[in-house]
Amino acid sequence: MATTPTIVVTKDTDFSTVTPAVFSTLTPADLAKLTADQLGSISADQIATLKPEGLAAISKQNNLSADVFHAIQVKTLASLNMKLVSGAQFADLTSTQVAALTTAQVASIKTQTYTDMGIDALSNFALKGNFAAVDMKKLDTTSPASYENFNKLTPAQIAALSTAQLNALSATQVSNLTLEQAAALTKLQAPAFTTAFASNLSSDALNAFTPETFKALAPKILNAVNVSRV
Render pLDDT for 93-147 as a digit per residue (tens, 0 to 9). Answer: 888 888 888 888 888 888 888 777 766 777 777 666 678 788 877 776 555 555 5
- Whether 206 contacts 225, CB under 8 Å: yes
**Residue type at 5?**
P
Residue 215 burial (C-beta neighbours within 10 Å; 0-12, 13-18, 19+): exposed
Q: pLDDT tens, 168-224?
A: 888 888 888 899 999 999 999 999 888 888 888 888 998 999 999 989 988 888 777
Model confidence, pTM:
0.71
**What pLDDT, on a 0 to 100 scale, did the predictor assign at position 130?**
77
